Each structure stands twice: as structure tokens, then as C-alpha cells.
Structure 1
């Protein structure tokens, strides 16, 4: 097929240069820098094409310098002007241009001095609007004394690499896209070379080993031939060993006696780098990039690589790495080595280092000749990948697992994948089947594993008692020190909390985090405790533990646990009012979810993002996050609940309380079967729905919703949940006319929040309190309280509610001056109604926004029309433009 060269993954750079061309005032210079192959020439060609195709722009002048041009006077100038007219011709072209002119010079480090002098002179002397864009391989901040702007090109991202493959008709495995991007560092020339050189069919396999492009291999071979034997030996040793192995190991493996001379020569060859090393003590050479590593391996040959791995296995200290080297050197089945790998994999799994365990199990399977045992080890490899949170890697092996004979382990593993992908029904069917066919006497470890998967299944169903029952079963069968036992134990506390036993839950996590203080399993305990603390109002401790759990990812933690920690950390920061930090953690979590293939936490992350964007008035972005949450096909409660809450948050911020009601009413039915949804403190939905019912005039329905939850919250003694319910009850009491009791209820809510770092909740209570007082005619008191709400919202950046507070203050009349009302005397309330109707809001929407009835809105409209001499909403809107 024909592949048309396009500029992929550079939209930001294209928009930046395009904006500079459109707004250039005089002569301006921009240097585009980046290493060879990064796509500078492609970007420049695209910019020229855009300039030529765009209406209302000036000329586009293009030249490409070369080594021979540097010694040929005015060679580049002749390319630009397409003539021998020199500087005069260039000046004429710039003067004749009807719009801003784009001058592009590729490989500008080779430009001849005469052309450069003419270009600088003409652009200085002629005041025409000209943007000169030059590409160079090295960063340049000054050009003959002229200060220039620099735009540095780095490698393209995963999405752009996937687009390059798609344009070539290549179906690529999702995990391979990320690996190809990292392998090439996103350098377009290298990406394209590999896409074109390798057979298209290999890209759909998840286990593909990525080589170097042929031109890189040829270049590396040539460089190696120029090196001394000691330098070649050192480079080959560095290729075989992990980057963090001590230099002494590489020197021993290479068998050299003058490592410093070899290091210097390796660096001079361009094949190795020594980052931030000024003394021999700091020297730790590495291959410059993954492509060079692959090319050196290719140049060594199979026999030499195998021999080097066998010798490395005797040198490295880490048992898993030693085993890796032995495996790399073994091309055929080796039962003894396979058994050793299996044993080490189980040890790593017991420590929670599931990524290591997955690799070891898979290697063991490759070296196993006995079919049943081989199938078991392959399945355990997939299971370990899932435990590590690598759904993409595990998914690549699912067809292989599905082709194996049915076993309890096979069903439990496929159920695990269904859980992480959010597929509740599939997970339940596979778990039930695994439990039905497992032999408890012969396979107690597999039975415990299945029980632990039931624990996870009930966790994301937000079930309390069932979670605790399965956790107890798993711990009893496997023991508290086993991987399944530890996993069950660190989740069990959440089940206790959702079963109405928060004190026991707290005590259990205190013991667990003290007992499991190190290693990957500690991340699970720390994350679980942070999640519990957030639900129980210990917000500061929750943030500390969740931050710790995120940082543990670098110490061998699980991607799955890190993802949950990021999701709940963002939620904690939202509640505390640190919204910028929350959005940063949301984005980190979304990137991790994409790379891992774990879909469970997506809606939770999007809920926080949608909340913040809607409160900031960033409506398109808020809607985009809600739509993103809806794309997750999962049916687990832990996905469905935050998606509904996100939609309700946007509707509430827009004062669309009828939509809030429609969105959240399904939760009233779901709560009958979901204990985690009923327990206070975990999902803030009752107060939001009750408030919407009150604003919509459904006072009896609001009372019926609030009453049982108020009783439950009183039994649990949960402060923030009680404050939220009092926020809604205060609204209800005010709507029924009991303003004195409403005031007491709102004050109680504020007292409960006193001392808790929940700024958003304090703002909500104050806003509702002030609105209720204003409706009751207590304008001076309302003014002070809404002013407090406004200040909190302002500190949060919640512009949506800052504007609503200001409208409330204006409608109250105490802060309005006669000059604010124009020539016609409108009351403050009429001014507020006028402003909202002029924006296109319906009577019901205006009523919800101002917390008055639709009839009152119509009454005010009638008076407004009479005062202004208008007859319709359209005329009112036109008069206010």
C-alpha cells in the first residue's frame, strides 16, 4: 500500500508556529532543534504546506541547506528566491507579500555565511511581517548575536506511534505500542524503519522482541570495529547486564584490565554514555539507548550472547537475575532449571513482587516439557501479571490460557482478568465454576486463591459482609502469611467498615500496617488503610498513607494498587480543596490505567476530574470526563456509582436539579443491595439527591430519603456524613417554613465540619444556609453567610459557585447601589431574574438557581416586562445584549 508522509504527533508544535505566523509583527526568528530523525524536516514541510494552503497569508519561502552549500556563496539564498537576484530579490519578495511571510530553512547549521548575512540584513531593514524558522540538530539560543526562540522536538507519544502503524495498515498489540515507543524513544525515523522492516503479522503478538533498524545495526557494527578489543568487551558486557548492576560486575564479565580507558573510548564512540560523572568513582557507563543495545546484541551473534549470559549467571548477586541469565542462555527444555524458576517465582509472589514472579513463571513454562505442568506455569504467569496490574500483558496471553484444558486455576485467572476489566457477570460465572470444580484436599492453595478472588469481586461490588466471609475463608485455607492470605487481610478491613464495624476495621489496619512494614505487600496495607481513613473522616492521615502507597510503586509495588491509591488520593485532595494536586493525580492515574489496561478505576478518576472542571465552569472538559467514564463497559458498582455521581455533580453545578434527581434516583434502589453505598462517609449521594428533591418541591420524598440515613449516621457517629445530611435537612426545614430549626440544623452542620479539612463541604453548607435565610427574608444574616461561602469558593477556584454567590448577594439587595440598576428601577431580585432569563434559562432553571419557586419567577418576569416595556423573553435577552 502507498504510505503518504504526514506530520503525526506534532499538533502542539504546528499550532504554536501557526500562531506565531499569524501574529508576527516584524521580523522574528525561531529555531526548531532536535536530534537526527526526530522529524524536523517533516514538520517544516507541513508548515510550508499549511502556509501555502491558507487564505490571507503571505508567501512561503523554503530552502534546505547541505554540507556543500556552506562553501557556496548565496546557495541557500538562491533556493529561497528561486533566482540569482541575491538580497534584492529577497527584499522584493518580502515587500510584495500581502500577509505575513514564512521563511523556512532546513538543516540551517549548514547555511552559507553570505545567505545568512543577507537574510539577517533584509529582515532587519524591511519592516515586513516575517517569521524565519530554521531547523538545527543542536540547540541554538543566539544566531550571530541575534536572540532567537527555540522549539525543541522530542520523541512522539504512544498515540502518534499507534497512528503511524494504523496508516500502514498494521494491527498492533496495545502492549507493543508502548514498548515500541519506549524502544525507539518515539523518534519517528526509527519507528517508521521498524514498522517497514518487520513483517506486519508479528506486531499483533504481545511477546515480540524488538530489534534495531538495519541502518542502526550497520552503524553500530562500524563503530564497534573501530573500538579496541577491551572496549568492545566492555560494551558487550553492558548489553548483557542490567543497567543497575555494579560496574565491577561488567568489568569482570568483560575480562578487561583497564576499564577507565575502555569507558573513555566507549563514550567517544557514541555507543555509551556516562551521565553526570566527573570522576572514576562516579563512572557508570550505559548504552546510549535501547536501539544501540539491540544492535550490539545482533552484532555479537547467538553463540557469544549465550556464552556471556552463562558467565553472567555466575557473577550477579540477585537470584532472580542469575536465573534470568541462565534462561537466556538455554534454548531447549530444562526441567531442573524450570523447577528452580518455579520455586523462585513462588517466593517472589509471596513477597508481593508479582511482576518478577510473572516473568519467572513464564520462563519456567517455556523450559518445561511435561504438558500439564507447563500449562499450570503459563497460567500462573498470567495470574501474576494480573496481580502486578498488567492487564495488557496478561491479555496478550489470554488466548493461550483459554486454549488450555479447564482447571480451577484457569477459571480463577480468567475471572481475575474479568474483575480488573470491570466485567462483573463474567467474573462471577468463572469464579463459581472454579469453586465448583476445585479439589479442596489436593489443591488447598488454589482453593484459597479462588476465595481471595471472591474477596476482590465483593470489594468492587461494595459488599461488606460477603467480603469479610470470603476473606476469613481465604486466610483460614492459605494462612495469614501466604500471598492470598495477605491480599485478603488487607482488604478485609474495608469489608468490616461496610458492615457497620468501623472501629474493628481501624484496629485491624493498625495491626496490619505495623506487621507488614516493608516490601510490595506493605503497599497494599498502606493503600487499604488510606482508603478506610478517607471514609472515616481521618482525612489528613488518609492523604499521608495514600501518598506513601503511591511512592511505594518505585519499590516493587503493584500497578493495580498504585492506581487505586492515585484515585483515592485525588478524591482526598478534592475534599480538602487542593484541586490542582487532585487533577495531577487524576492524570497520572489515567495514564497508568491506559498503560496497564485496568478499567476499574477509570470512572472514579473521572468523577474527581468532572467535579473540579464543572465547579470551575470548564463545562466542555467536565462533559468530556463524564463521557470518558461512560466508555468503560464495566458493570461493577465501584464503576457505576462514581459515574452517576459525576453526572449529578455537573448537573448540580449547572443548577439543573431535575437532572440531578433523575441521575441519582437509581442509587436509592441500588442501596438496598449494596452495603458500601448505604454506609455513611463512602459515597456522598444522599444529601445531593435530597437537596435536589427539596429544590424541586418534593418535600415528602426528601424527608423519606433523609430520615433512615440520619438514623444510621447517628448510630455510626460519622461527622462529615452527618454534616452533609444536615445540609439537606436544613434546606428541607427552610422549605417547610421552620426557619428557626433550619438555622439550628445548619449551625450544627458547620460545627461538625469544624476541625475537618473539608473546605468544599463547608462552602456548600454556607451557601445553602445563606440561600435558606434569604428566602425566609433574613437578608442581613444571609448576606454574611453567603459572603463566607463566596470566599471559600473563591479560594477553591470554584468560579461557578462564586458567580452564584454574587448573584445571591445582589439579589439580597443589601450590597446593591442604585447605580447598579440602570435607568429603570428594578429590585435586586428582579435584576437577578433578568440576568438569568437573558442567558436563555427557563423559569424552572431560574427558580432552581435562585432557590425560589417557578411561580415567583413568572411573577417577577411580569413586573420586569411592565417596567421595561417589553413583551417577551427574546426582547428581554436582546435588551440585555
Structure 2
């Protein structure tokens, strides 16, 4: 296509790019086309236009050699902006540590990092508008692609533009990024002839015709084929060269470049190979932001043959086109590639992950030092969100291990991470890949098989026996020092026991841990106490969880998940939800889906607890799609169980009972007691909502008998208020009182804030003495946790209001009943709201929804309501204030009932009626 100034054809593309660069405000555009069609030339053209218009241009290029290195591509864009990063506040700066390898923190989520990048770009663009140009985006690493897609969808209103070039036919994360595209097609016949005649004058007519036919308008082919075809014709003495026709164009261009490469001196070919394997860019500006890179020297011969260009600013050699780079690698022998990788490994001594990549490719014989480096890189990748890269490096480290013990250990580590990445078949293969007799009976193999059997089909019975046997075999073998495989086996055993909820299995596990507990870390003992019987082992657990979270940067993703499960059991999950939300998107995107599913469950549970029910529904549906896609049957039914419980709370009884039946039919025959308990809790909640207290009581006592709490039944204590209310409404006041007293005597208020709230509520509801009832109601309604658990709080207020109406009169009851009705309406619990309104009518007050004053909006709700009233969509609001559209929707869901409206159309009028101190 010639130089930028002499570009042939492309009138439409140039017009689009001219409008793109000249337009005010942020924009994004993807150029997609075949190899050699001219995408890079168009990107160069756009960059030159932008520079002429006063934009600062930052270039980056995807490189296949770096496609598995987390954030390698994003580093190219951010490196020139380091001075601006230093102007951000400390919290924002810390987000970039993982990109630049300056800290050991876990990788932030795409949203967290994306928002930080947007803030950084906005800061940089406040001085001069920015244009980011990405070539070969199909080779960008997955972490960087996700962030670029996130940023690209949110540039409206900024002074930042993003241009991306993608090769057609190569899968890329940009394929689902929903960014506007411009298809770059081949040149027209006239433009192709003009380009060929301009760059290759005096061609023989037959050669000219053949090149035009073979190139089919591909500019790179038009530029590169003529010497090759002419040479082939000369070799045949000027004869017919039509036999050249029919070879696919990319392959033919490889042939063209391959012939030129073979003609080079060996030393020059070696220089090109080292540059190609290190990812030296295809464009002159692409490498200036990449930090340390191999610099090809004494390669003038390659430049003369049209294989390299010279960067006009740095003077470094760069590849003329990505096809040149790939051809250099393809034409090298294995020994030549290994020698080049060895040189590059030495070059990147200070970059652990890049050095590991080259060492892995340069080493043949077992080498413990190399294996240790690969293992360290795998640890780094795991913390940075590169689970798949970690599995590959650990597998290679095992292959290079000098002892069978180290080989087995590293393969076990790879299998463990593969299991958490949802690669259950791969995990089994890795665990049994140690070789030798009994490899498939090793503890690591038992671990991988246990994960697969549990998550694929919910097999808790046989897996519990197998993992117990594996742990006992290690104990009996005389393990004396802390052992990672033993810890993983015990942790899996605790997961299985949690799902089984079987007291005999738990007691056996406690005995095992009494023997080997000194060989596992303190976190495992937290899981043991929290996941089993929190009533009997939960004292002081919340403080232990808090201490464990004191340094979250040192926690593996699966430990964050497990600690959050423990926090759920002691009802302190809300304070750790930010850890989950920072991590869950990354786990999904990097393939660690098993952890991500549990994280989504936990986020959903906390959303249910704090009253974000619409948001919880969306989280549950997202998790359900993920579990179905990856065929994790256990997690499919686990998610359905939570969705059923949520449906019951929201008054969708038909759906709740349908999901309850599905979960129960799957889980009960398998002995998955954790899920059958949630199914029973769903039945209880649905019956309570309908006012069918007899059915609610029968469901509730299926979880635990009145007056006690069934050991190892996690719903036994959680259903305290349900059983008490159902018993009272069916005339079983003695059983209700016994159950409330059992909660007090078991010291449930000391275990968790929610258990404290509902214990005081149960004691108040069942108290015969008026003074005790008043004291317990006051203690419940003024408890610091009351606002954190609005549904339980509203139920206690409703019960209190009913009691006040009967004991002190209608006027005394109205405040409690009004607050209860407002909360139920805000939550979206229609059956409970109607019950509260009925009590209000009995207390001589009109329906709470029409008579209650507007509830105060929070500052965030005011911002969101005002933007929505101006006509902005949830997506646009989220972009403006850096929230997800789902979070915006959740806030609006709470705003509407506070304002007494049901649609966005009524927002402006409703906001206008607020007191002056409530307006934004």
C-alpha cells in the first residue's frame, strides 16, 4: 500500500479514520481483516492523523509469544503513563502493582483494574487527548484483552480513543467485547493494479497478470510476490509459472519470506530468531513501551531483503510484518530454537515469568534449578490471575524435575490448580501422570479423583471414604512435617463433609485432625470448626476469620473463598465481600471456574442477607449459566437451591417449589445433606410467606427438632426464627419457647450477629412476661446487626407491632408495623408486606405504602436516581460513576419503593417532592 502519504485506494477506510480521529469525545474502533490486507498501514495512517491533530499516540502490539503472560499487553499501554500513575491516590496506584510486577497482591478484578485504567487515562488525557493504537490484538493476553474491552466500552465522554487491529479468522477475546468494527477488505481491482504498478514497474505482462490473480487484492501479496514469481519464471527459463497457482495466500507468503530467510548468513538468521521468539514488534512504535527486549544487531542483510525495517526513533531493527516473524520461527530447527530461548532466558533474568517461558522452551534434560524457576513463575501467575499458565509451567517443571518425589509433587500441584480451574479431566490426567506402579493410587491422584467425583456428580459418600483413606494412609506412613498434599486432602475432606452434613463422617474427620492437626495450617482448623457444627464449635470463630484476613495479599484465591465460606457461617460475610468481588471476575476469565462458582454463591448469599434481592437474582443466574456450561452438577443444584430460597422470600412460590423439588430429587439420593437442608428451608420460607404455618412447621422440624439443634446441620440454627414463628402460629407455644431457650443456652448470640438478632427476637416472641418481651424486643431492634439483616429485622418488628397492638393498643403498634411494612416493600417480599399492611389496617392506619413518608435516600441512591431521571441508562450511569449496570439496577430497585413509585418515568416528579435536604 506504500507509505502513508502515498496510500493507494482505501478511500472509505481513510474517511472513517479521519472522522474517528477528528471527532470530539472518546471512541473505540476495531479494524478486522485478513493477514496482509493492510490493517497495520491503516493504523499507522490513523496514528499520523491523530498526531497531526494534537493527540498523544501510544502504540502497542499483541505478540503470540506473550499471549499467556498475564497483563503483558496492558503493560505496553501503561508503561508510558507511569508518571501519571504516580499522581493517583495510593489506593489507585496499588491496583497497578500487579501489572508492573511491583507487588505481591492478588490480581484485581477486570472491573477494578478497568476503572483504575479509565481514571489513569482520563488523568493523562487532561493534558492532551490520547489515542491508543493496538495492532495484532488477536495475540493480546487474555487479562489485557478483558481490560481493554472494559475500557473500550466506557470511553464516551472522555478524551481517549482506542483503535484495535485484529486478524480475521483468529479467535480473540475481542470477539465478544461488543466494540464497533470496520471490516478491512482487499483492494479493488483498480487499486490493486495501481499499487502493483507503482511499486513494481516494468513487470513482464504475464508476471503482472499472475501476481494480480494470485494476490486477489491483498496489498502485502502485491508487494511481496513479484520478485518471487519473477525468480520462479527465470529458473524455468522464462517458461510458464502457472503451476504456482492454488497455494493458499498465507502459506505462499511464508514461502516468499522463507526463501529470503534461507539466503541469509547463519548469524543473521540467529539474530532474527532471537528477535522473533522474544516478541519484537511488527511495527516501528510497538516495542518502545515494552521495557527490556532483545535488540537485533548486524542484521542489515535482512533489512535489505525486505524482512526488517528500522525504527526511525530508536534505530532498532523491527520485523516488517508478523508473517515474517512467524516464518522465522517455523523455518528454524528445534536445536536452533532452543539455543535462542537460552539466550533470551539469560536476557530476562530479572523478569521471572518471561524468563520461565524461555527456560521451559530451552531445556531438554532434567534440571532442578530450571524446574524451581518454573515453579516460582507458576506461583506468581496464580496470584496474578494466570491459573492456566500456572498449570502449564508446573507441568513443565515436573518434566524437568531430577527426582521422582519432586516430579510427583509438582504434578500434584498442577492437578490441584487444574481442578480449581474447572479442568477436571486434565486434573485427573496430571495426578496419574507420575508414572510407575501405583501412580493412580497416589494421594495426589486421590485428590484429583475426589474433586472430579464431587463436583461432576455430587458423589459425597464414596469420595468421603476415599479421601479419608488417603489422609489416614499418609498419617500411617509417618508424615512428620507439614505437607501440602496432606493439607489439600484434609481441606477437600472438609468440603465433602460440609456437603454431606453427616455426623458420623464429621466425627471421624475430627479424630483424624486430632492426629494430624499439627501438620496442617491454622486456616484448615478454621474450616473444620466453621463448616461443620457452628453451634458447638463456633465460639470465637469470627475473630479467627478476621485475623486470617488481616493480610489478604498473602492468601491464595481458594483460601479467600474458603475463609469467606467460614465468614458466611458466622454471618460476617459482608465485610469480606469486596475481596470476592475483586477476585471473581478474574477467576472466571482465567478459567478458575470452581473457585468462581463458590465466590458467586457467597456474593449471592450476602446480597440476600443485606436485602439486595434483585441483584442476588442476577448473581444466581450468572452462576447458574456458568455451572451449566462447565457441567458441574453439584454446583448446578447448589445454585438452584439458593435461587429457590430467594424465590420463596420474594413470594414466587411456584418457582420456589419447582426448584425445591429439583434440588431435593437430585441431592437426597446422593446424601448431599447441605442441599436437602436448603430445600427444606425453601419449603419453610414458601409456606411462611403463604401463611401456611402447619406446613412451615413440618418443614422446619425436618431441619431440627424444637428445643435442640441437630449436629452438623447448618440450617438448624439459621432456621431458628422460622421454627419459632411457625410453632407460635400453630398453637405450639411450648415448643416455640423451648427452642428460643435452647438458642440462648447454646450461646448463639456469641457466635454471629445474625444469630444474636434472631435469638433475641425468638426470646421476645415467646416470652410470657411483658418486661422480658419488651427487653428482648429492644435488644433485637437496637442490635448493631439489625440494619445488616433487614428481612429478619422487619419480621421481628412485625411481631413486636402485633404484640403491642394486643397489649398497649393500636397507636403504640403503628411505628413498628409501619417500619416493617416499608422494609418488606423495599425488599420485594409481597406476602410479608401485605401481612404488615393488614396489621396496620387493624391498627387503624391506611396501607403503609401510601401513607408512609418517603424514606431517606442515601447519597449514592440520590446520585443514581438523579442520573436516571435525566434519562441515562443503567449502563451510562455505571460508566459515569464507575459502577456495574447490575449494581445501578440494584440501587434503583431500592430507590423506587422509597419514593413510592414503580417506574423510571416517575422519578423526576418524585425527586422534586423530596425535602430540600434530600435533593441532589
State TM-score, norm by structure 2. Answer: 0.50
- Could you tell me which of 314, 318, 322 is aligned with 2:346? 314
Question: What CA deviation, in whole Å up to 9, does each residue of 1:366-416 have, x standing for no partner?
Answer: 567998986665455323423566546425657868984533443344334
Could you say which residue in structure 1 is the equivalent of 2:699? 663
Could you say which residue in structure 1 is the equivalent of 2:846? 815
Change (3 A) 1:450 1:370: closer
- Alpha-carbon deviation of 1:565? 4.0
Change (3 A) 1:578 1:378: same
Could you say which residue in structure 1 is the equivalent of 2:605? 571
Q: Secondary structure at the match of 2:485?
A: helix
Could you say which residue in structure 1 is the equivalent of 2:757? 723
1:252 equivalent to 2:294? Answer yes
The equivalences for 1:492-511 within 5 A come to 494=530, 498=534, 500=536, 502=538, 504-511=540-547
The equivalences for 1:643-662 within 5 A come to 643-662=679-698
Could you say which residue in structure 2 is the equivalent of 1:345? 375
Change (3 A) 1:324 1:315: same
Q: Is the 8 A contact 2:371 2:398 kept in 1?
A: no
Question: What CA deviation, in whole Å up to 9, does each residue of 1:269-298 have, x standing for no partner?
Answer: xxxxxxxxxx999x9x99999x99999977
- Alpha-carbon deviation of 1:791? 0.9
Could you say which residue in structure 2 is the equivalent of 1:407? 442
- Alpha-carbon deviation of 1:429? 1.6
Change (3 A) 1:740 1:604: farther
Q: Secondary structure at the match of 2:747?
A: helix
- Name the CA distance, whole Å, in 2 between partners of 1:255 and 1:668: 78
- Name the CA distance, whole Å, in 2 between partners of 1:579 and 1:227: 65
Q: Secondary structure at the match of 1:335?
A: coil
Could you say which residue in structure 1 is the equivalent of 2:395? 362
- Name the CA distance, whole Å, in 2 between partners of 1:468 and 1:216: 67
Q: Is the 8 A contact 2:674 2:714 kept in 1?
A: no
- Name the CA distance, whole Å, in 1 between partners of 2:681 and 2:276: 56
Q: Is the 8 A contact 1:746 1:765 kept in 2?
A: yes
- Name the CA distance, whole Å, in 1 between partners of 2:554 and 2:697: 46
- Name the CA distance, whole Å, in 1 between partners of 2:761 and 2:372: 58
Q: Secondary structure at the match of 1:334?
A: coil
- Name the CA distance, whole Å, in 2 between partners of 1:233 and 1:652: 71
1:749 equivalent to 2:780? Answer yes
Question: What CA deviation, in whole Å up to 9, does each residue of 1:660-695 have, x standing for no partner?
Answer: 334333321799896454799xx5212213322333
Question: What CA deviation, in whole Å up to 9, does each residue of 1:698-745 have, x standing for no partner?
Answer: 4444344443223213673755324324544555569xxx88866665
- Name the CA distance, whole Å, in 2 between partners of 1:428 and 1:369: 34
Could you say which residue in structure 2 is the equivalent of 1:104? none
- Could you tell me which of 489, 499, 506 is aligned with 1:453? 489
- Name the CA distance, whole Å, in 2 between partners of 1:321 and 1:223: 31
The equivalences for 1:317-466 within 5 A come to 317=349, 318-328=351-361, 334-336=365-367, 340-341=370-371, 344-345=374-375, 358-366=391-399, 378-386=411-419, 390-391=423-424, 393-395=426-428, 404-420=439-455, 422-438=458-474, 444=480, 449-450=485-486, 452-458=488-494, 461-462=497-498
- Alpha-carbon deviation of 1:536? 4.2
Change (3 A) 1:674 1:555: farther
Change (3 A) 1:329 1:656: farther
- Could you tell me which of 806, 809, 813 is aligned with 2:837? 806
Higher relative CO (Cα under 8 Å, sequence separation at least 6) belongs to 2
Q: Is the 8 A contact 1:238 1:287 kept in 2?
A: no
- Name the CA distance, whole Å, in 2 between partners of 1:701 and 1:746: 20
Could you say which residue in structure 1 is the equivalent of 2:22? none
- Alpha-carbon deviation of 1:255? 5.8
Could you say which residue in structure 2 is the equivalent of 1:176? none
Question: What CA deviation, in whole Å up to 9, does each residue of 1:518-560 have, x standing for no partner?
Answer: 3443x56655555555544556534455556658859999765
Q: Secondary structure at the match of 2:279?
A: helix
Change (3 A) 1:624 1:286: farther
- Name the CA distance, whole Å, in 1 between partners of 2:516 and 2:469: 17
Q: Is the 8 A contact 2:604 2:619 kept in 1?
A: yes
CA RMSD of superposed structures (Å): 6.0
Change (3 A) 1:223 1:575: farther
- Name the CA distance, whole Å, in 2 between partners of 1:307 and 1:527: 43
Change (3 A) 1:731 1:489: closer
1:766 equivalent to 2:807? Answer no
Change (3 A) 1:621 1:394: farther
- Name the CA distance, whole Å, in 2 between partners of 1:181 and 1:803: 53
- Name the CA distance, whole Å, in 2 between partners of 1:638 and 1:183: 37
Q: Secondary structure at the match of 2:553?
A: coil
1:685 equivalent to 2:719? Answer yes
Change (3 A) 1:540 1:186: closer
- Name the CA distance, whole Å, in 1 between partners of 2:288 and 2:663: 46
The equivalences for 1:145-156 within 5 A come to none
Question: What CA deviation, in whole Å up to 9, does each residue of 1:260-319 have, x standing for no partner?
Answer: x99x9999xxxxxxxxxxx999x9x99999x99999977888677656544443333444
Change (3 A) 1:304 1:509: same
Question: What CA deviation, in whole Å up to 9, does each residue of 1:757-813 have, x standing for no partner?
Answer: 221221121233344556789544444432221111222233343334334444656
Q: Is the 8 A contact 1:766 1:786 kept in 2?
A: yes
- Could you tell me which of 276, 279, 283 is aligned with 1:238? 279
Aligned residues: 589
1:541 equivalent to 2:575? Answer yes
- Name the CA distance, whole Å, in 2 between partners of 1:362 and 1:390: 14
- Name the CA distance, whole Å, in 2 between partners of 1:346 and 1:233: 24
Change (3 A) 1:265 1:768: farther
1:797 equivalent to 2:828? Answer yes
Change (3 A) 1:775 1:509: closer
Q: Secondary structure at the match of 1:461?
A: helix
Moved more, 552-561 or 505-514: 552-561
Q: Is the 8 A contact 2:542 2:751 kept in 1?
A: no
The equivalences for 1:232-311 within 5 A come to 237-238=278-279, 248=290, 251-252=293-294, 309-311=341-343
- Name the CA distance, whole Å, in 2 between partners of 1:287 and 1:490: 58
- Alpha-carbon deviation of 1:218? 4.9
- Name the CA distance, whole Å, in 2 between partners of 1:461 and 1:579: 29
Structure 2: gaps of 5 or more residues: 1-28, 35-137, 139-169, 178-246, 262-268, 849-920
Q: Secondary structure at the match of 2:441?
A: coil
The equivalences for 1:161-172 within 5 A come to none
State TM-score, norm by structure 1. Answer: 0.52
- Name the CA distance, whole Å, in 2 between partners of 1:760 and 1:809: 18
Change (3 A) 1:35 1:472: farther
